[in-house]
Amino acid sequence: MNAIISAPELVNALAGANPPVLLDVRWQLSTAGAAGAAPFDGRAEYAAGHLPGAVFVDLDRELASAPGGRGRHPMPDVEVFGAAMRRAGVSSGRPVVVYDGGQGWAAARAWWLLRWTGHPNVRVLDGGLPAWEAPLSTDVPVPAEGDFTPEPGATGGMGAANAAGMLDADGAAALARSGVLLDARAGERYRGEVEPIDPVGGHIPGAVSAPTTDNVAANGRFLPAEELRARFKALGAGEDGEVGVYCGSGVSGAHEVLALAVAGIPAALYVGSWSEWSSDPGRPVAVGPDPQ
C-alpha cells in the first residue's frame, strides 16, 4: 500500500464504500515566541476551514508528551494517543488519511505513530491542504467513537518494506556505525553553523546529512519514488541495510521516514532526536560536513 495519497485519489476514496477518517494535524515549528510574536495556532487554522469531515489533532498534546529530558516532542503516553485517535473516529477496520498545512511534517508524525502502533491502513495527503481543490468546511464534526487500540511496535502489519521502527539514543549511535543514520535537519544545523533551538549545534557522529526538504518538489509534493530511491541510494541507504532517521525533535524526521517508505526503503525513527541527544553532555557531538 502506498504511504501517500493524492487529492484526486482522496476525493474518490471519500466517495467509496469505506471512506477514510480524516485527521487535520496543522502545526508549525516556530521560534516566533522568542521574539514576542504569537505562536502558530493550528486549531484556529482548522476552525477557519478544513477538509469536510476532518477532525483536528493537536501534535503537541496528543502526538507527543511534554518536552523534557527525552526531547522537545517525546513519545506520547499511549493511552492519551489512543483516546485521541478514538475520539477522532479512528478504527482498525477503516482507512485513515492525515494532512497538514502543506509542509507534511506534522501529518507524517501522525502517520508514523499510527503505523508504529498497529493501524493497517494510513496515508498522508501528498501536498497537504494546498493540494485540496474542493471547498473547505467550518463545521466541526463529532464522529462516532472509534475502536483503535494502539499496540506499540506492531508496525501496522504493513510488511518489511513499510515497517516502522523506533530508535532510542543508544540505538541511533549504534546504527550510525553499523548502518545508515540520516539527519533530516537543514545542512547548516547538521554542520553546527547555526542552532536556533537546541543547546548545542552539530550532529550525531557518523550520521549523514539528508535534509528532508530535498524529498519534495517546489509544490511541496513528494518526488517520484524512483527519484527518491536514487537520492537515498546516493546517501548509502537502500532496501537491504538498516536505515534510521533523526531530526530536531522527531517531527521532520517522520517526514523523511515517510519519504523512505514511498521509495520502498524501511527505516526507523529516533524520536528524541537532536533535542534529546544534545541535552545530554555525555553524548559526543560532531561538527562540519564530515559525518565523523
Is residue 228 annotated as part of the catalytic site, yes or no? no
Catalytic residue among 247, 254, 258, 269: 247
How far apart are the C-alpha atoms of 201 and 180, rounded to whole Å?
21
Give the residue from 278, 261, 272 showing the smallest Cα distance to 190: 278
Q: How far is CA 77 from CA 73, 80, 149, 152, in A?
A: 12, 5, 13, 11
Q: Which residues pair with 243 in a beta bridge?
A: 180
Kindly give the residue spans of alpha helices, DSSP state H, lying in the chain: 7-14, 42-48, 59-62, 78-87, 105-116, 169-178, 187-190, 225-234, 252-262, 273-277
Q: How far is CA 235 from CA 180, 231, 238, in A?
A: 8, 7, 9
Locate cell 550532529: which residue? 203
124 close to 162: Cβ distance less than 8 angstroms:
no
How far apart are the C-alpha atoms of 141 and 6, rounded to whole Å?
23
List, by residue number, the catalytic residues.
Answer: 247
